[in-house]
Chains A and B, each alone.
Chain A
């Protein structure tokens, strides 16, 4: 039944992508959905883009493993839209381009900036795509259990998810992706509400559960001498006391909390697949209003996700004693792979149907985000590199074809990397492997792109050379610091460097400022400033909309 549901769901997605694909594919239609996406639709689509497997499975998994410290992932993911609203949304939309590299390239009148931003975007896209592919493999393995085409179950999930989304995006472009992602988020939220309702109906009381879970020290499975055992978590805030579910310290010191929070908060404004959506808004004001809606829905979504992570910890422990299928997944009542938390909770509360529904929702979250990431890759290769630099006079169909080829190539690379990862081994290192891998994408985005974008919008003295210096500094530092973190993972400093943005981002800012002061600004800076911070284009669009509505109204009365 689960496999049938997955196949039908996949076919429905492909059909939707084909149905709404632009008939005459121009760049505006392919990349920006014709710039006619309304506030609520765009907010839903941004949520569909943003709430990936890391939000759906990963947040619950992080709370399951680390209790209160796991909640920081949800907080950071939600908080990221505050800087977007305050510093980026409206002015970036008013400037109006196709993508983040396009915006920076035109703002600073430099192809070097454009290409440097394209390189950073590729690192972010792949860092974000791989954990989505991993999550799809995990989900397929748990739901279906068997492989196809000669592959094992995990590999089948990885390949099917990446291949199907590459197809939808290559055919449908942004318009197909927009509506698909909006509906996918609605479905995701509905499933969370449904599962929460069932869980509460089965006797879950949030406060009591937290209190019960906190009576004993927090223990999680670890591989010790080749055998899985429960091991008590150390308390990063007070080494003399055990870590507990409802107390901070099970995973992060105060410095660790701040590093994680800042990395996630600053990273959102540099995520290409999310920020590209803002260029589809009709006006800058609507881009700002869209972000307010996203903040609201993010709060609701993560409130449920955190609650369900807690419920999973409580229910799974109780059920493991009597369910043979659960004993294979747990060690003394605690899951070995925390990303199974919501899936197992679904099965406990609603049997096979519950498991199938949660699995479908998880795959929906994965493929929805994959679609946005693949489209960002398409924009950066097809438009930013091919059309703007390599072949400026290329006809539209060639530009769109270049984008489609980039979609296929990027999906293939992500699938190959995911196929070579083993989630169970990652779970021993990180609270939630999927959420942690996504954090790497946030780290690069927040260290390199966000500082440069914010400076480009709010500091007139920013120059092309300064932007390139900032992009290089931020990305190199972010990658170097978390490579160090992987090597020194058992040290306190190594753990902190898994979230390097609070160190890398200020370095990027300082480098950008120092280099900009020694170089010259674009010649047309006054025009750029009026375009970015003035509202003439917004007002013209709003007047046109008013006239169109008035005209439609008068025609209907005749």
Chain B
């Protein structure tokens, strides 16, 4: 993918009169950023999930300790704890990914509109 292919994608025309298109350079840049985000959060996810069997293997307090006299720590973590972790991770990753796309794509036609004005 090289700079010579910039603009190769035909614009998508919408009834508002704006042409929606992304240049290859923009897409390449956002792709690399999104890849870092995806794999970074993926490592975070893996770390969170692997923590439980690692703690089980190497500690005693993890399987015998209790949260405020209630469940064992491992029961609380494997139950609601991990689901909450997944949800928060998902919200964070989705927000960041969408934010990156909003900031890094669609600027070409916005500046073209500004020039026309």
**A→B interface (CB under 8 Å):** 68, 71-72, 75, 78-79, 81-83, 85-87, 90, 206-207, 210, 237, 246-248, 254, 257-258, 261, 265, 285, 288-289, 291-292, 295-296, 298-300, 302-303, 306, 458, 460, 525-527, 529-531, 533-537, 539-540, 543-544, 547
Contact = CB atoms under 8 A, between A and B. Distances in A.
Interface residues of B, number: 57
A228 to B, nearest CB: 29
Given A79-B86, A543-B20, A533 B30 contact: yes
A536 B20 CA distance: 5
B75 A68 contact: yes
Contacts of A85: 90, 93-94
B105 A534 contact: yes
Contacts of B101: 285, 535
Rank and list the top 9 A-B pairs by shortest CB-CB distance, nearest first.
A299-B83, A534-B22, A536-B20, A207-B70, A533-B31, A540-B20, A295-B90, A534-B27, A540-B12
A199 to B, nearest CB: 16
Contacts of A292: 87, 90-91, 94
A283 to B, nearest CB: 11
Contact of A285 (B5, B52, B56, B98): B98
A529 B29 CA distance: 11
B16 interface: yes
A87 B42 CA distance: 9
Highest count of chain B CB atoms <10 Å: which of A248, A288, A289, A306: A248
Contact of A254 (B21, B22, B42, B56): B56
Overall SS of chain A's interface: helix
Contacts of B116: none
Highest count of chain B CB atoms <10 Å: which of A71, A83, A265, A540: A540
A65 to B, nearest CB: 16
Contacts of B52: 257
19 contacts: A71-B78, A79-B86, A81-B86, A83-B42, A207-B69, A207-B70, A207-B71, A288-B94, A291-B90, A295-B90, A458-B38, A526-B24, A527-B9, A530-B8, A531-B9, A534-B22, A535-B22, A536-B9, A536-B21
A186 B39 CA distance: 33
Nearest to A534: B22
A529 B15 contact: no
A299 B35 contact: no
A298 B83 CA distance: 8
Contact of B8 (A86, A298, A526): A526
Contacts of B18: 543
A303 B79 contact: yes
Contact of B16 (A72, A90, A543): A543
Contact of A526 (B1, B14, B78, B91): B1
Interface in B9-63: 9, 11-12, 14-16, 18, 20-22, 24, 26-28, 30-31, 34-35, 37-38, 41-42, 45, 49-50, 52-53, 56-57, 63
Interface string B60-83: 000100000111101100111011
Contacts of B83: 75, 78, 298-300, 302-303
B63 A248 contact: yes
A86 B82 contact: no
B87 A299 contact: yes
Contact of A547 (B15, B24, B78): B15
Contacts of A460: 1
B37 to A, nearest CB: 8
A392 B2 CA distance: 34
Contact of A246 (B11, B72, B98): B72
Contact of B31 (A247, A529, A547): A529
Given A246-B72, A527-B8, 17 more contacts: A68-B75, A72-B78, A75-B82, A86-B45, A210-B71, A247-B72, A265-B49, A295-B90, A300-B83, A526-B24, A533-B27, A533-B34, A534-B22, A534-B26, A536-B11, A536-B105, A540-B12
Nearest to B23: A530
Given A68-B74, A265-B49, A78 B56 contact: no
Contacts of B97: 90, 288
B79 A306 contact: yes
Contacts of B75: 68, 71, 210, 246
